[in-house]
């Protein structure tokens, strides 16, 4: 307790403190002669050694080194590209190196080159003199200044759209002393100082502004700096005066006169969110100064070259030996730890201390808080303060006090307490020297867990990331699965045998929800390991996901297998269409042949789109049967008889090849028939083509061309039964009763004589019909009588024959008008027949 406030320094209404983060693990002589860049949110540090222009020599190449915030090396490589003007980190921890020629090279956190882009061709003549990297929530931008005093800006390096800003008048003559970028609400502006003028420059205009509340004697501005969120701006004048105000330069927040005329090496804002007071940290060679709005200041003497990294809630100070954090003491901490504080949190902490000493004072303190009904506030203060403390011991002390206080409360939600414990545990883990991410609680909340996990993944700290996901109970597909996927994507780049990698990946990933093996496989393929990719794809449960990659890998056959397995016809079609364009026809057909499902789908397509392909397909397959069927189909879409015959002839050949003699013969007969019909058509000028044999004969008979009909009868070996039916139907239709009778007597009818009765009745000639009834065989006589309407005769025969079916038949024809006695007789006979 005594020591908590030892490093506190008052400034204005608040206290500032500087705490140690790390002893740096690196071994570097000093930060002099280096280009240095440190990413916010406890990100990595990049050093480009020996690049300072004054010392540039062509024989010695500079070295690019990357470290964690604790100075643990991440990567190091010789700089082989052009002259670097500035370096800086993006919001997602990629390093940007801006070269004199306007090229921006991008490296990942482990020193791997990713890509590059250029800030514009115009720059080849006008080399870059200065560059600034700026951030907004989700993007990073770059602004450059060329020798010709022209500014260009890329607001988002992802889309690389370059804006050239308008010229600023008078820069060529009066020079440019300092400038900075303000990036707010999707708007990017430049503030620049030239002599005693301040200009605001945006994409289409340049306006001169007067800074409110500044001494008019000022002749130039030596330094300017925007706050972390670009809301505020600080200006350092040649008179040693620091102006602090809003970044739109409309409001002044404070002013501090340090009386130094030399410009500071660095000037950064040190301000925590929602703090009431503006403060700026300035650094000279041997002095670090925290300036507030009053004329007070805190001064530290320096014996090391330092580098300041502005953060959301303070400033990190990196030296060659140590790494410190300077910030305004949060109000809660101040209330609890300030000497003689009577805030509820302070009392609770005290109470808990006494309690541990088993002193009764604990009760007194507690009572005091409880009497004011402030216990919940006290607990909350302790929890909140724990979050602001960097030392685990202090955190524990505060949390224990909170827990102690909480036990006296009945309906205090434990959630805040539990969350804080969990999150602090995570924070302490990533603050560890080996990880080296000195995140404060405020930064962590701003960064979000997802981003933190991504950053760990980028650094390949997979186990830690997974533990954090599990500890914070993050949903699988955002958490563990996500990390595992990245791990797997990294794993496939390792130089191990394919089988081992595939096995290892499957072992770890198993069936974890939300894992897409196809994505990992895609990565493997990208890394030039198609075999591994295929092995991985085998683990993919959804065939639909496998197919696109397999096609990309030109594994059409395999893709086809998978598509068919999936049962999704769309997928099969996708592959088939792809193969159709990729392969030569022969191979394509051969492939299809192995896959009936695909083949049938393709046939469907061909039937409508490419009739000829269909034919080729059958040809290729030696599917004579289908080919023959195809020709038959073709033939009857054809109008000309000659062509039709030709098509049919082809069909005959194919049918014979398919050993379908029946169809071959039938087709041959059809050709014969067609020819015959054609001849008839020419002779008689009546349409015969398109009729079946039966219909042809029938119409011939109707027309009375018995000679032709007979010829067909013989030529086509029409069965007698059919011929007789044809003949008698035709004669009856023509009402040629005489001929019919003659025909009936020509020889014994192969279809019996009931047929004669039927055709006569059909054409309403009962008189003729009756002629044939007597010839009908006894079994059918009842029917014949009924047909001609002779119910009584039918009944007589039925009764005589004692046949139940016949009797029923006759009975069903009886109605009211039928003679009663007849019905009775029938019924009697039926019951007699039943008994038998």
Partner 1 sequence: MAFHSRIDSSETPKFSDLKRLACDQLIYLLEQLPGRKDLFIEADLMSPLDRIANVSILKQHEVDKLYRLDNKPVISSCNQLCFLIRPHIQAVKWISDIVNSDKITGKCRKYKIIFCPQKFYVCEAVLEEQGVFGDVTCDEWEFYFLPLDDDIISLELPEFFRDYFLDGDQRWVSATAKALHYFHSLFGLPLKVYGIGKCAKITYEMWRQFIEEGEKKLSTDKTGNLFIFDRDVDFVTPLCSQVVYEGLLDDVFRIKCGSVELCSDVTASDKTIKVLLNSQDKVFNEIRNEHFSNVFGFLSQKAKNLQTAYDKRQGMDIKQMKNFVSEELKGLKQEHRLLSLHISASEYIMKRKTKLDFQELLKAEHSLLDGFNVRESISYIEEHIIRQISMIESLRLLCLLSLTENGLVSKDYRSLKSQYLQSYGIEHVLTFANLRQMGLLVEQQPGETFTAMESTVGKLVADKAVGKLTDAFSSLAKKSNFRALSKKLTLIPKSNEEYDLHSPPDMAYIFSGAYIPLSCKLIEQVLERDGWNGLEEVARMLNGNEFAVTAGGGGAGEAKPKPQSSRLMFVIFLGGCTFSEISALRFLGKQKGYKFIIITTAITNSSRLLESLNDGHS
List the x/- string, 782-811, binding to partner 1 by CB under 8 A.
-x---x------------------------
Nearest-CA neighbor of 110 among 45, 66, 64? 66
3-class SS string, 629-691: HHHHHHHCCCCCHHHHHHHHHHHHHHHHHCCCHHHHHHHHHHHHHHHHHHHHHHHHCCCCCCC
Is there binding between residue 836 and partner 1 (CB under 8 A)? no
Is there binding between residue 667 and partner 1 (CB under 8 A)? yes
Q: Which stretch binds partner 1 (CB under 8 A): 183-191, 324-332, 460-468, 566-574?
A: 566-574
Rounded distance between C-alpha atoms, residue 350 and residue 361, angstroms? 9
Per CB under 8 A, the list member of 719, 778, 789, 832 interacting with partner 1 is: 719
Is there binding between residue 207 and partner 1 (CB under 8 A)? no
Per CB under 8 A, the list member of 164, 636, 659, 764 interacting with partner 1 is: 636
Determine how many CB atoms are found less than 10 A away from the CB of residue 603. 15
Is there binding between residue 659 and partner 1 (CB under 8 A)? no
Rounded distance between C-alpha atoms, residue 432 and residue 429, angstroms? 5
Q: Quick one: how many helices (H) and strands (E) in the chain?
A: 33, 29
| Closer CB to partner 1, 72 or 641, in the complex | 641
Q: Which stretch binds partner 1 (CB under 8 A): 62-70, 128-136, 504-512, 571-579?
A: 571-579
Contact 331, 341 (CB under 8 A): no
| Closer CB to partner 1, 493 or 516, in the complex | 516
Is there binding between residue 663 and partner 1 (CB under 8 A)? yes
Is there binding between residue 605 and partner 1 (CB under 8 A)? yes
Is there binding between residue 729 and partner 1 (CB under 8 A)? yes
| Closer CB to partner 1, 435 or 601, in the complex | 601
Count of alpha carbons within 13 angstroms of residue 289, beta-carbon side: 24
Rounded distance between C-alpha atoms, residue 591 and residue 575, angstroms? 11
R_g of the chain computed on alpha carbons: 50
Per CB under 8 A, the list member of 155, 194, 561, 574 interacting with partner 1 is: 574
Query: Taking each helix axis from N to C terminus, what angle separates 585-594 and 569-582, rounded to the nearest 10 degrees?
Result: 150
Rounded distance between C-alpha atoms, residue 526 and residue 101, angstroms? 31
Nearest-CA neighbor of 221 among 282, 266, 269, 178? 178
Phi, psi of 240 (to 5 degrees): 85, 20
Per CB under 8 A, the list member of 570, 582, 642, 738 interacting with partner 1 is: 570
Give, for 786, the enclosing helix (H) or strand (E). helix 778-787
Count of alpha carbons within 13 angstroms of residue 78, beta-carbon side: 4
Determine how many CB atoms are found less than 10 A away from the CB of residue 811. 17
Is there binding between residue 542 and partner 1 (CB under 8 A)? yes
| Closer CB to partner 1, 208 or 600, in the complex | 600
> What residues have CB less than 8 Å from 380, skipping those under 6 apart?
345, 402, 416
Contact 295, 256 (CB under 8 A): yes
Q: How far is the CB of 444 from partner 1 (least distance, A)?
A: 30
Q: How far is the CB of 684 from partner 1 (least distance, A)?
A: 20
Tokens of 278: 């503006």
Q: Which stretch binds partner 1 (CB under 8 A): 220-228, 262-270, 465-473, 664-672?
A: 664-672
Rounded distance between C-alpha atoms, residue 407 and residue 241, angstroms? 54
CA distances from 172 to 152, 176, 190, 516 (A): 17, 8, 18, 58
Is there binding between residue 609 and partner 1 (CB under 8 A)? yes
Per CB under 8 A, the list member of 5, 246, 248, 625 interacting with partner 1 is: 625
Q: Which stretch binds partner 1 (CB under 8 A): 414-422, 660-668, 792-800, 815-823?
A: 660-668
Is there binding between residue 649 and partner 1 (CB under 8 A)? no
| Closer CB to partner 1, 375 or 730, in the complex | 730
Is there binding between residue 652 and partner 1 (CB under 8 A)? no
Per CB under 8 A, the list member of 117, 149, 163, 716 interacting with partner 1 is: 716
Per CB under 8 A, the list member of 600, 611, 684, 735 interacting with partner 1 is: 600
Per CB under 8 A, the list member of 174, 633, 656, 699 interacting with partner 1 is: 633
Q: How far is the CB of 760 from partner 1 (least distance, A)?
A: 15
Using CB under 8 A as the binding criterion, the count of chain residues that bind partner 1 stands at 46
Is there binding between residue 763 and partner 1 (CB under 8 A)? no
Q: How far is the CB of 685 from partner 1 (least distance, A)?
A: 22
Tokens of 443: 């930064």
Is there binding between residue 632 and partner 1 (CB under 8 A)? yes
Is there binding between residue 640 and partner 1 (CB under 8 A)? no
Is there binding between residue 684 and partner 1 (CB under 8 A)? no
Binding site for partner 1 (CB under 8 A): 542, 567-571, 573-574, 577, 596-597, 600-601, 603-605, 607-609, 625, 629, 632-633, 636, 648, 662-663, 666-667, 669-670, 673, 691-694, 716, 718-719, 721-722, 725, 729, 751, 783, 787
């Amino acid at each position: 307790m005594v020591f908590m406030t030892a490093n506190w320094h008052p400034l204005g209404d608040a206290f500032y403190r500087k705490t140690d983060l790390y002893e740096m693990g690196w071994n570097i002589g000093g930060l002099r002669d280096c280009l240095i860049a440190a990413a916010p949110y406890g990100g990595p540090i990049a050093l480009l050694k020996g690049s300072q222009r004054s010392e540039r020599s062509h024989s010695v190449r500079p070295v690019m080194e990357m470290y964690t915030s604790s100075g643990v090396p991440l990567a190091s490589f010789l700089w082989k590209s052009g002259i670097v003007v500035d370096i800086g980190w993006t919001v997602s921890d990629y390093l940007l190196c801006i070269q004199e020629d306007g090229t921006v090279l991008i490296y990942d956190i482990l020193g791997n080159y990713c890509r590059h882009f250029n800030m514009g061709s115009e720059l080849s003549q006008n080399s870059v003199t200065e560059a600034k990297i700026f951030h907004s929530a989700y993007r990073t931008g770059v602004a450059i200044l060329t020798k010709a005093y022209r500014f260009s800006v890329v607001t988002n390096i992802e889309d690389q759209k370059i804006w050239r800003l308008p010229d600023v008048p008078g820069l060529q003559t009066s020079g440019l002393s300092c400038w900075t970028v303000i990036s707010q609400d999707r708007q990017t502006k430049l503030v620049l100082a030239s002599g005693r003028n301040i200009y605001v420059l945006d994409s289409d205009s340049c306006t001169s502004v007067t800074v409110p509340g500044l001494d008019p004697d000022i002749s130039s501005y030596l330094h300017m700096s925007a706050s972390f969120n670009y809301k505020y701006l600080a200006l350092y004048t040649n008179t040693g005066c620091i102006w602090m105000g809003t970044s739109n330069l409309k409001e002044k927040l404070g002013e501090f006169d340090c009386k130094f005329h030399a410009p500071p090496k660095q000037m950064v804002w040190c301000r925590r969110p929602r703090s009431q007071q503006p403060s700026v940290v300035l650094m000279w060679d041997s002095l670090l100064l925290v300036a507030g709005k009053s004329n007070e200041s805190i001064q530290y003497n320096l014996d090391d070259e330092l580098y300041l990294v502005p953060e959301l809630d303070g400033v990190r100070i990196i030296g060659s030996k140590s790494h410190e954090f300077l910030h305004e003491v949060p109000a809660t901490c101040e209330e609890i730890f300030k000497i003689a504080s009577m805030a509820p949190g302070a009392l609770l902490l005290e109470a808990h201390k006494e309690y541990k000493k088993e002193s009764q004072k604990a009760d007194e303190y507690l009572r005091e808080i409880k009497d004011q009904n402030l216990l919940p506030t006290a607990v909350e203060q302790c929890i909140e303060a724990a979050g602001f403390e960097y030392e685990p011991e202090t955190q524990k002390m505060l949390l224990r006090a909170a827990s102690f206080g909480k036990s006296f409360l009945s309906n205090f939600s434990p959630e805040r307490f539990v969350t804080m414990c969990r999150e602090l545990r995570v924070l302490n883990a990533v603050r560890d020297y080996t990880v080296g991410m000195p995140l404060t609680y405020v930064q962590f909340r701003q960064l979000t867990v997802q981003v933190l996990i991504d950053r760990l993944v980028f650094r390949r700290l997979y186990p830690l990331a997974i533990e954090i996901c599990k500890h914070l109970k993050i949903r699988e597909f955002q958490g563990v699965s996500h990390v595992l996927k990245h791990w797997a994507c990294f794993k496939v780049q390792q130089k191990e045998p394919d089988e081992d990698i595939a096995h290892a990946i499957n072992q770890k990933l198993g069936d974890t929800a939300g894992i897409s093996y196809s994505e990992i496989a895609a990565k493997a393929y990208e890394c030039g390991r198609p075999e591994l990719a295929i092995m991985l794809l085998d683990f993919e449960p959804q065939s639909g996901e496998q197919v696109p990659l397999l096609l990309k890998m030109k594994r059409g056959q395999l893709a086809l297998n998978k598509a068919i397995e999936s049962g999704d016809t769309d997928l099969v079609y996708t592959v088939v269409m792809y193969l159709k364009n990729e392969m030569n026809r022969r191979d394509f057909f051969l492939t299809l042949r192995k896959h009936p499902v695909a083949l049938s789908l393709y046939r469907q397509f061909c039937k409508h789109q490419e009739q000829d392909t269909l034919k080729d397909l059958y040809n290729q397959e030696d599917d004579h049967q289908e080919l023959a069927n195809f020709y038959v189909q073709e033939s009857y879409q054809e109008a000309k008889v000659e062509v039709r015959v030709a098509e049919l002839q082809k069909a005959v050949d194919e049918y014979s090849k398919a050993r379908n003699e029946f169809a071959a013969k039938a087709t041959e007969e059809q050709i014969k028939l067609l020819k015959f019909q054609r001849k008839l058509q020419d002779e008689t000028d009546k349409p015969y083509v398109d009729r079946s044999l039966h219909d042809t004969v029938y119409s011939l008979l109707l027309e009375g061309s018995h000679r032709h009909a007979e010829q067909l009868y013989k030529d086509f070996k029409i069965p007698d039964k059919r011929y007789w039916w044809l003949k008698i139907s035709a004669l009856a239709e023509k009402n040629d009763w005489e001929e019919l009778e003659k025909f009936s007597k020509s020889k014994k009818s192969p279809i019996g004589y009931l047929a004669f009765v039927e055709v006569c009745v059909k054409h309403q000639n009962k008189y003729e019909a009756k002629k044939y009834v007597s010839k009908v065989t006894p079994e059918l006589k009842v029917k014949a009588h009924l047909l001609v309407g002779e119910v009584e005769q039918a009944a007589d025969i039925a009764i005589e024959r004692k046949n139940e079916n016949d009797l029923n038949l006759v009975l069903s024809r009886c109605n009211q008008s039928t003679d009663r006695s007849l019905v009775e007789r029938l019924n009697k006979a039926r019951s007699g027949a039943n008994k038998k």
